[in-house]
């Protein structure tokens, strides 16, 4: 059995599938390796204890651990950590900045809303004030016109009344004259007596007094 396809498949499936597939591939390789090793070991002598306790290999392991770990530390410290760190910080700053700007925009919007509401309120006030003023001025104007009209009317009425009074006076005066002359005529027609105009007038006055 020859090992084939030792590379792990691309993990474009959920990772558990990848893990399983990887396990199978590795297992095949392990079995294959054991097979080869089994064949090889048949010739070689039996192993002597745990290789970890072979102290002769310790210096080289300590040395290379020191070298590789120091190298790893330098690479991580100088290259990898700053690189990842700067990207994360950049993103963090970007997010902070965006959040700050969003807060700013929201504050601005709130302010604009408040300004708008204040404007609306003042406009409403202005409108009601204007309405009130207009109503008042119209009422005043109307009142004034009414007053003038009333005054004119009263004047006209007064003059008319004066005219009526004068006309009445004149008419009344005429009435007594007419009464006197009619009385003279009536008397002359009935009795043939000539009545003095002055007497007649005197009599009419007396009669008028009696009526009044």
Partner 1 sequence: MHSPVEQFTIKSLMQLELFGYDVSFSNSALFMMLAVIVSTLFLTFAMRGRNMVPGRMQGAAEMMYEFISDMVSGTVGSEGRPYFPFIFTLFVFLLFGNMLGLIPYSYTFTSQIVVTFVLALFIFIGVTLIAIFKHGTHFLTFFVPPGAPKVLIPFLIIIEVVSYFVRPVSLSVRLFANMLAGHTMLKVFAGLAVMISGAGGVYAPGAILPFLALVGLTGLEVLVAALQAYVFTILTCMYLNDAIHLH
Which residues form the interface with partner 1 (CB under 8 A)? Answer: 3, 6, 19-20, 22-24, 26-27, 29-35, 37-38, 40-41, 46-47, 50-54, 56-69, 71-73, 75-77, 79-81, 83-88, 90-91, 94
CB atoms within 10 A of CB 163: 10
Nearer of residues 97 and 136 to partner 1, judged by Cβ: 97
Minimum distance from residue 13 beta carbon to partner 1 (Å): 13
Structure tokens at 165: 């009074």
Nearer of residues 14 and 46 to partner 1, judged by Cβ: 46
Distant-in-sequence, close-in-space partners of 28: CB < 8 Å, separation ≥ 6: 3, 4
Cβ pair 180, 173 in contact under 8 A: no
Nearer of residues 12 and 189 to partner 1, judged by Cβ: 12
CA–CA gap between residue 22 and residue 156 (Å, rounded): 122
192 φψ region: left (φ > 0), alpha (ψ -120 to 50), beta (else): left
Nearer of residues 68 and 111 to partner 1, judged by Cβ: 68
Structure tokens at 101: 């700007």
Minimum distance from residue 44 beta carbon to partner 1 (Å): 9
Minimum distance from residue 100 beta carbon to partner 1 (Å): 17
Distant-in-sequence, close-in-space partners of 174: CB < 8 Å, separation ≥ 6: none
Cβ pair 207, 187 in contact under 8 A: no
Nearer of residues 38 and 211 to partner 1, judged by Cβ: 38
Minimum distance from residue 122 beta carbon to partner 1 (Å): 46
Minimum distance from residue 103 beta carbon to partner 1 (Å): 20
């Amino acid at each position: 059995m020859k090992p084939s396809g030792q590379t792990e498949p691309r993990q474009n499936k959920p990772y558990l599938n990848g893990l399983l597939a990887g396990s199978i591939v590795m297992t095949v390789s392990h079995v294959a390796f054991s097979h080869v090793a089994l064949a090889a070991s048949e010739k070689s002598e039996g192993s002597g204890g745990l290789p970890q306790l072979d102290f002769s290999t310790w210096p080289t392991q300590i040395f290379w651990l020191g070298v590789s770990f120091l190298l790893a530390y330098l690479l991580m410290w100088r290259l990898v950590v700053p690189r990842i760190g700067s990207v994360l910080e950049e993103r963090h700053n970007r997010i902070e900045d965006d959040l700050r700007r969003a807060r700013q925009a929201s504050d601005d919007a709130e302010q604009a809303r408040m300004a708008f509401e204040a404007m609306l309120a003042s406009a409403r006030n202005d409108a009601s004030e204007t309405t009130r003023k207009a109503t008042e001025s119209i009422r005043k104007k109307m009142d004034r016109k009414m007053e003038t009209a009333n005054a004119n009317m009263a004047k006209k009425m007064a003059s008319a009344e004066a005219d009526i009074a004068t006309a009445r006076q004149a008419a009344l005066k005429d009435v007594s004259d007419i009464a006197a002359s009619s009385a003279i005529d009536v008397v002359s027609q009935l009795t043939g007596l000539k009545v003095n105009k002055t007497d007649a007038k005197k009599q009419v006055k007396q009669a008028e007094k009696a009526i009044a």
